[in-house]
Structure formats: C-alpha cells, structure tokens
C-alpha cells in the first residue's frame, strides 16, 4: 500500500465513523476536522510540487503553499 492508498483508507474510515456520530456534537466536529486534515494531506501528495492558494473564510486571509 502506498501513501496515497493509505490516506484514502483513512478517509474511508473517518467517513464510516461520521455516519455513526450525531451531527452537532464535539465528536462529529472533531472527525470533520480530522477528515479535512487528511484530505488536505492527500491533495498535497497527489499534487506534490505544485503551488496552490488557500483562503481562510474566517479571517479573510489568503496563503500560498508550495
């Protein structure tokens, strides 16, 4: 199993967990955050070496990542 497949498997596991956790709970928010972090890391692996821009809707700040 390579890194990309490992992240895909982790995302599947988090998706499965989210299906059993009531929305609006701290646990649901926690796993949503974990999912977002895993997805961000997977995207970085898939697009390794490319530059992309991120926009934070809470602060209005933009960041460029390599």
Question: How many Cβ atoms sit within 10 Å of the Cβ of residue 7?
Answer: 18
11: CB partners within 8 A, 6+ apart: 35, 38, 39, 42
pTM metric for this prediction? 0.70
The tokens describing 2, both together, are 């390579």
Number of residues that this document lists for the chain: 66
Q: What is the tens place of the pLDDT at every residue in 37-55?
A: 999 999 888 887 666 566 6
R_g (Cα) of the chain, nearest Å: 14
Taking only the tens of pLDDT, the chain with its 66 residues reads: 888 899 999 999 999 999 999 999 999 999 999 999 999 999 888 887 666 566 666 677 766 655
């Amino acid at each position: 199993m390579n890194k990309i497949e490992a992240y895909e498997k982790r995302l599947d596991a988090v998706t499965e967990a989210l299906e059993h956790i009531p929305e609006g709970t701290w646990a649901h928010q926690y796993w949503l955050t974990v999912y977002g972090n895993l997805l961000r890391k997977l995207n970085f692996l898939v697009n390794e070496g490319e530059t992309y821009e991120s926009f934070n809707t809470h602060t209005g700040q933009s960041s460029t990542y390599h």
